[in-house]
Chain A
Amino acid sequence: MIIPAGILFPETMLQSGWFNVFATFVAINTVIYVILSVSKLFPVIRSLPRRTIRARAESRSIYPGEERRK
């Protein structure tokens, strides 16, 4: 009887329980990594739209005359 085999390991190894777990572990990592990477392609979600951010109560410039600008 000829057992189907790859170069080094028997093909039955690919059906074993531990291989299943290992392959699932790698698959999950891969999916998570790709999704997180792809999420970096999209613009950042901002908690506050820029225009509604309040202007500073006090100017932070180095020139004293520009302070207390509303």
Chain B
Amino acid sequence: MNRFFQRSVGILVVATVLLAIALMILIIASSRDSTMRWDPRRVNLFDGSMTLTFSGAAPGFGILLPALAIAVLLVVVVVVTERLVSLRYRRTPPGVTRRPLAPKPVMERTRGVFAGEVTVTVLIPAHNEEASLPGTLASLDEQLVRPDRVIVVADNCVDGTVRVAREYGADVFETVGNTHKKGGALNQALREVLPALGDNDAVLVMDADTQLGPAFLQQAVQLFTSDRALMAVGGLFQGEEGGGILGQFQRNEYHRYQREIRRREGRVFVLTGTGTVFRSSALRAVAEARGAQIPGRPGDVYDTLALTEDNELTIAIKSLGGLMTSPDECVVTTEIMPSWKMLWAQRLRWQRGALENLGAYGVTPQTFRYWAQQVSIGYGVFALFAYFLLMAVMLLAMDIWVWYPFWIGIGLVFAVERAVTVWQGGWRARLLAILIIPELVYDCFLNLAFLKGVFEISAGQRASWKHVTHEQRAEPLERKVA
């Protein structure tokens, strides 16, 4: 993909959104049916001792129904397209070399051959993680099905990471001259480890500050055993405890995401870098296809130019036709950002990474869903800001307080929905959700990160990769696993 397209990815998304908004405004303005008129009515209660002012203003059905129909239509188009694309890729016949990881070619290659039982080699890239590593290694210890080999990939560490890893009994791979952060470190380790691995040998790539649910590897091994066309089993991540309200915002966000993946029956958006098991053949196929069918340098498993290397690898495997899933039992508990500043850095990176990956792959059947997601996020940005602007204008222009049954009704429905979608998070999660406004403010913050990401890409700014430093914790990490 050429540089101009890559830089204009953000603008493309925003332009699409603005076009949709302009269309809507045009339709509303030219319609005679809009009835958000200001004509409050007074009602006397309790024999005149109390006066209630309310307004029954609500958008007329003439506008509301077509608008709703269009929205539903768009959702259906996106969902159906995704299903059709995945069906088409799943039915790729054996001869097609463009999609070497599709089920039929894989079955053809592996038919009648027993490549051994499924084994799991764990790779944990670590950069100065002596504080978090013990917790991570302990969670591997507690797996119902233990990994066959654990390798800590120590990348430019100046602390006791290597010592901690050896004390635990894990193998250590120290990177040499790596300037490409996590992606580069994993590439170096994989170059050494992959050649010896067979078709049924899997690689678990996880972060040094995450803990796996105890049934994670058991589920992954079971799935790989029963389906030799399965290329990756991704974890469903949830946020660790702590971090106050900011932490709860993030936990709520992850709960909702988990819920959505469960509703999709494990169909994957992103194979998370915090914990995903890959079939070695998938990683080998990706490395071979780089520079040709997919972006990156031939021989590299991870594209070191990608800000969000896990998102990029997901799109790579999908583009090659590989099957993947995120089952219920594969839970990963991951760090939450302890400060707004760090959250900003993380979300800016995620947003930039997502857009840049789309710029690198272009619009393809497999990336269509991701493009649609970006457009809907972009639309949400403008819609939310418009909502707050409207509230502000009304508050600053109203002489008296007016009750709006319409808004109140919508608000109640929304509050219920918010609480239900974080139900698994417990009472703290539900309480924060039902208040609505705090989470909307959090969403505003994320929206600003989206806009900043778009701006940075368009301006051609170099991305920065901020690393979370972990201080020695006094108490052990509280684990919340399913």
Contact = CB atoms under 8 A, between A and B. Distances in A.
B200 interface: yes
A11 B398 contact: yes
Contacts of B229: 60
A60 B111 CA distance: 9
B386 A41 contact: no
Given A26-B390, A28-B59, A29-B383, A34 B414 contact: yes
Nearest to B110: A62
B383 A15 contact: no
Given A23-B36, A26-B386, A9 B417 contact: no
A62 B398 contact: no
A60 B227 contact: yes
A64 B113 CA distance: 6
A30 B28 contact: no
Interface string A14-30: 11010111111111111
B107 A20 contact: no
Interface of B: 21, 24-25, 28-29, 34-38, 57-59, 63-64, 67-68, 71-72, 75, 103, 107, 110-115, 117-118, 200, 224-229, 260, 263-264, 380, 383, 386-387, 390, 393-399, 406-407, 410, 413-414, 417, 420-421
Given A15-B38, A24-B63, A40-B421, A32 B394 contact: no
A36 B114 CA distance: 47
Contact of A60 (B29, B36, B103, B380): B103
B396 A60 contact: no
A11 B38 contact: yes
A61 interface: yes
Given A14-B397, A23-B390, A34-B413, A28 B67 contact: yes
A37 interface: yes
A41 B59 CA distance: 25
Contact of A8 (B225, B390, B397): B397
8 contacts: A24-B36, A25-B386, A27-B36, A31-B64, A35-B71, A37-B414, A40-B421, A62-B114
B118 to A, nearest CB: 7
Contact of B24 (A6, A28, A35, A58): A28
A1 B397 CA distance: 18
Interface residues of A, number: 42
A7 B396 contact: yes
Given A5-B397, A15-B37, A33-B383, A40 B64 contact: no
Given A34-B417, A62-B200, A64-B111, A6 B396 contact: yes
Most buried by B among A5, A11, A26, A35: A26
Given A5-B399, A8-B396, A61-B226, A20 B410 contact: no
B414 A14 contact: no
A28 B397 contact: no
A8 B393 CA distance: 9
B58 to A, nearest CB: 7
A27 B29 CA distance: 14
A29 B380 CA distance: 9
Nearest to A46: B265
Given A30-B407, A62-B117, 9 more contacts: A25-B28, A26-B390, A32-B68, A35-B71, A37-B414, A58-B107, A60-B107, A60-B227, A61-B225
A34 to B, nearest CB: 5
B68 A21 contact: no
A63 B225 CA distance: 8
A21 B397 contact: no
B118 A26 contact: no
A46 to B, nearest CB: 10
Contacts of A15: 37-38
A58 B395 CA distance: 66
Contact of B395 (A6, A26, A31, A60): A6
Given A34-B410, A62-B114, A19 B28 contact: no
B421 A41 contact: yes
B260 A40 contact: yes
Closest 4 CB pairs of A and B: A9-B397, A23-B36, A8-B396, A14-B38
Most buried by B among A9, A24, A31: A24
A63 B114 contact: yes
Contacts of B398: 6, 11, 14
B225 to A, nearest CB: 6
Contacts of B75: 36
Contact of B34 (A21, A35, A37, A63): A21
Contacts of A64: 111-114
